[in-house]
Amino acid sequence: MRNIIFFIFYIFIGITQLSAQTGTRHNPMSLQNEEKVVLISPNPATNQITVNASKVSTKVNSIAIYSIIGNEVLNIRPESNTVVMNVANLKKGKYIVKTFFSNGNSEVTTLIKN
């Protein structure tokens, strides 16, 4: 029995070292270090939010707010990269805010509605 446990441990160590050498390990923290270009304030919000994408030179085409199950609940085409949006009619909960840019890129941010 002791030999079997040692063998399993030896195999586990070998696989762990192999995956570290081949770069197949996943680092979830690396995804969180990306700088956001769209800022939402206040967040959590009650009546209105300011969506600020002034860090980028690309024009904002539209801003869409989706419920947590994916239904679009609000969509605007702003005149500038900083816009105030009325969210008073949204129910309390968590929402996804997706900002679409003229170059085809987009950024997703979360919003908490109180």
Look at residue 20 and tell me if it is in a domain: no
Domain ranges, residue 64: 39-113
Look at residue 109 and tell me if it is in a domain: yes
CA distance 12 to 60: 50
pTM tops 0.75: no
Look at residue 28 and tell me if it is in a domain: no
Residue 68 confidence class, pLDDT cut points 50, 70, 90: very high
CATH number, residue 97: 2.60.40.1930
What's 100's DSSP letter?
E
Look at residue 77 and tell me if it is in a domain: yes
pLDDT, tens digit, for every residue of 51-65? 999 888 899 999 999
Domain count, the chain: 1
Omega of the bond leading into 78 within 30 degrees of 0 (cis): no
Considering only CA atoms, which of 112, 107, 114, 84 is closest in space to residue 37? 107
Give residue 53's pLDDT. Answer: 93
DSSP letter string over 29-97?
Answer: GGGGGSPPS-EEESSSBSSEEEEE-TTSSSPEEEEEEEETTS-EEEEE--SSSEEEEE-TTSPSEEEEE
